Amino acid sequence: MIKMDSLKVDELLDIHWRWFKKRAEEKIITIETCKTIYEYNLFSFWKWIFEWDEKCVEKLVKASPKELLFFTDENGLFFKKFKQNFFWLKNCFKTVSDKNIEDLFYESFGYENFEDGNYKINEVWNAYEFTKKMNLDICPYCGRQYIFTIGDIKEKNGRPQIDHYFPKDKYPYLSCSLYNFIPSCPLCNHQKGNKYNVVKKDGSIKWVPYPYIDCFEEVVNGKKIEHVKFKTSFKFKNDNSNNTGQLGYKVKIKDVDGVLGEKLINAKEAFHLEDLYEKHEIELDDLFERYRNYSDPKIDEITKLILSTDDAISGRSQDEREFITKKIVAIYVKRAKNIILGLPLGPGEKQYPLRKFKEDTIAQLDKTRKEMLKEQKREIT
Ligand SMILES: [Zn+2]
């Protein structure tokens, strides 16, 4: 679960609203069979249902994460009013039209036009532009898949899918709210479906983490804060054939500080995270094999090799060399470790697939090795 940059969304709210408003003003909802009674433009359609004015609709479309929670609160005034009017309207429609009010309502909020890019204003704005501007490399839900935006709008496959954090079937009036859009991989979008973040018949609600608020790990004031940790172990054959070969891996995602709580349990269930991570056997085999080759002498060897070819060092006096070397050797040790373990060199804060999973597994191996060395020392003395 990777945190999304809400500052980027804030910058897009105005263009999104301009697009939405223009479309709403131009598009007339026509219900053929009852044209004379129900010929309203979108705003009057909404106004008719909610007695809303433009300001209210703007509030919905530009709603912040906190406001989205307010608009979906089943016990709140807003939702109650929506439901009440919606059912009343539904009944009215039954008598005069065979047009489905749910479809009409969803259609009126224009997500389809946003998605297919077929409604244009003077500025370029659509789902493709949105994912391009968000510039998210990795699926925030699973952290496993690249979700680049490439090509242009004509290439329909050139962008990630957009998941509605609050399902659009249940909350059609939030189907075009910018903060409801989560660019994600097809698998996560599909798996979450309509089962989460909605109130069920028994009144319960299963929340999955909301990438604008929740994440597995974050940096606050330069300090890394971990909310969960991956724990990997070997799975062995356990039959009576005396064949105790390794079968694969077992991956658990552990709650570290209770910040995600129930949301973590639901995320594991919704996205099948542990099952999916266990499937990454090639990466884990590779990592474990590389780790066997990783030792202090090897680090020294590679660090010396990098230093000998560093422009900042060559051609300087011995004193200067020692001074510079001490300063940068720590950086190079980390670099050497990444080289041996096959991790990207210096990704900074940038995400790459399986990043936390791999880093946690390495930390786990480091810890085990340290304990083993301690044990060995104790045995010798
Ligand atoms: Zn995903």
Distance CA 9, CA 16 (A): 10
How many Cα atoms are found within 13 Å in the side-chain-facing hemisphere of 222? 0
Are 209 and 168 within 8 A, CB to CB? no
**pLDDT tens for each residue of the chain, 381 residues long:** 999 999 999 999 999 999 999 988 776 554 444 444 444 556 667 777 777 777 888 999 999 999 999 999 888 888 888 888 777 777 766 655 556 677 777 777 889 899 988 888 889 899 999 999 999 999 999 999 999 999 876 766 689 999 999 998 888 889 999 999 999 999 999 999 888 999 888 888 999 999 999 999 999 998 999 999 999 998 876 656 666 667 789 999 999 999 999 999 999 999 999 999 999 999 999 999 999 988 888 888 877 777 777 666 666 777 776 676 666 777 778 888 898 999 998 777 889 999 999 999 999 999 999 998 888 888 877
The whole model's pTM is what? 0.87
User: Among positive and negative, which fits the CA dihedral 71, 75, 77, 82?
Assistant: positive
Are 1 and 216 in contact by the 8 Å Cβ rule? The answer is yes
Q: How far does residue 138's CA lie from ligand 1's centre (Å)?
A: 8
Separation of CA 218 from chain center: 13
Query: How many angstroms does the Cα of residue 125 sit away from the middle of ligand 1?
Result: 25
- Gap from CA of 19 to ligand 1 centroid (Å): 28
| Cα–Cα nearest to 209, from 251, 168, 163, 244 | 163
Distance 190 CA to ligand 1 centre (A): 9
Using the mean position of ligand 1's atoms as its centre, give its distance from the Cα of residue 161 in Å: 10
Rounded to 10 deg, the angle between the 318-341 and 296-308 helix axes is 130
Determine the distance separating the centroid of ligand 1 and the alpha carbon of 139, expressed in angstroms.
5
* Contact present, 246 and 235 (Cβ < 8 Å): yes
Q: Give the separation between CA 357 and CA 287, rounded to whole angstroms.
A: 11
Task: Output the CA 306–ligand 1 centroid distance in Å.
Answer: 37
Pull the structure tokens for residue 289: 């094999």
One DSSP character per residue, 21-52 reads HHHHHHPEE--GGGHHHH-EEHHHHHHHHH--
Q: Which tokens sit at 51?
A: 């007695």
How far is 72 from 197, CA to CA, in rounded Å? Answer: 9
Ligand 1 centroid – CA 232 distance (Å): 20
Q: How many angstroms does the Cα of residue 295 sit away from the middle of ligand 1? A: 34
- CA–CA–CA angle 142, 146, 151 (5° rounding): 140
How many angstroms separate the most distant Cα atoms in the chain? 96
Dist. CA 188 → ligand 1 center (Å): 4
* Cα 128 to averaged position of ligand 1 atoms, centre (Å): 18
Say how many Å lie between the CA of residue 1 and the centre of ligand 1. Answer: 9
3-state secondary structure of 64: coil
CA-wise closest residue to 101 among 36, 173, 52, 53 = 173
Q: What ranges do the domains of the chain cover? A: 6-192, 280-381
**Cα of 353 from ligand 1 centre, angstroms:** 10
Rounded distance from Cα 184 to ligand 1 centre (Å) = 6
